[in-house]
Amino acid sequence: MNGLVIVLIAIVVLGAGYLLYGRWLANKWGLDPKAKTPAYTHEDGQDYVPSSKLTVFAHQFSSIAGAGPVTGPILASVFGWVPVLLWLLIGGLFFGAVQDFGALYASVKNEGKSMGMIIEKYIGRTGRKLFMLFCWLFTLLVMAAFTDMVAGTFVGKGVEGMTKATGYANSAAASISMLFIVVAIIFGLIQKKVGKMKEWVRAVVAIALLVVMFIIGMKLPMYATKSTWIYIVMAYLFLASVMPMWLL
């Protein structure tokens, strides 16, 4: 099948899922677009921060790519393109999207509490402990796998058989990624301390900064061994876990 046809099918299916299935779920669960979320009722400047729809969408969009969405299509590709397409469309609509939607809905309806606290409220303390133990073990596995994957992608030297072109490409990607983190923090500080910009202004500035980051990253690639990148990635994960959302 022509690749363009597959793309068009995916656009139609995902668009219909958002417009039809998503709205059906919202009506089924009784979502009220006028209701104030915990970000407003419990605002503290760190964990609860009122944000625009685009900001919330961007954070959610960048956070949903867990082990399943990333490794699932890769494993399915062994059996051809059809399983990959089915995994992305059917799995994305009826498993991944509903799971995220349901988790966010439950949290918002329970004063922004985490799933562990919600489980304790409705099931009990034992259920919460079992769930948190599972999350902890699963998080260890995912963090180890993704840290190794990212470090392997960024490594620019110290790998036997690596060509100069591959080392440069990896190091340039690493440099761009590090710049992205720094710029995101600066952007957050400007938004918080200087004043909020209009959404279209933020979009234009963000795109311009992305172009600049790509240019600098290509000109100044960061060469480091895999072990060095593992330490850097782990340090970032720790810092990101304790930093306020608006700073990321």
**What DSSP string describes 181-242?**
HHHHHHHHHIIIII-PPPHHHHHHHHHHHHHHHHHHHHHS-----HHHHHHHHHHHHHHHHH
Do 186 and 192 contact (CB within 8 A), yes or no?
no
Do 183 and 38 contact (CB within 8 A), yes or no?
no
Q: Give me 29's structure tokens.
A: 């669960």
Among 113, 148, 181, which residue terminates a domain?
113
Residues 13 and 101 in one domain: yes
Q: What is the mean pLDDT of residues 223-238?
A: 89
Residues 78 and 165 in one domain: no
Domain annotation covers residue 217:
yes
The DSSP output letter for 152 is: H
Measured CA to CA, the distance from residue 138 to residue 88 in angstroms comes to 22
- Give per-residue pLDDT as tens, 7-42: 899 999 999 999 999 999 999 998 888 888 898 998
- Give per-residue pLDDT as tens, 96-121: 888 888 888 999 999 888 888 999 99
Q: How confident is the model at residue 194 (pLDDT cuts 50, 70, 90)?
A: low
For residue 186, give its domain range: 158-247
Residues 93 and 10 in one domain: yes
Residues 99 and 170 in one domain: no
Do 223 and 156 contact (CB within 8 A), yes or no?
yes
Q: How far is CA 2 from the centre of its chain?
A: 30
Q: Give me 227's structure tokens.
A: 């072990």
Domain annotation covers residue 136:
no
Domain annotation covers residue 121:
no
- The domain tally of the chain equals 2
pTM across the whole model: 0.69
Q: Provide the angle, in degrees to the nearest 10, between the axes of the packed helices 115-122 and 98-109.
A: 70
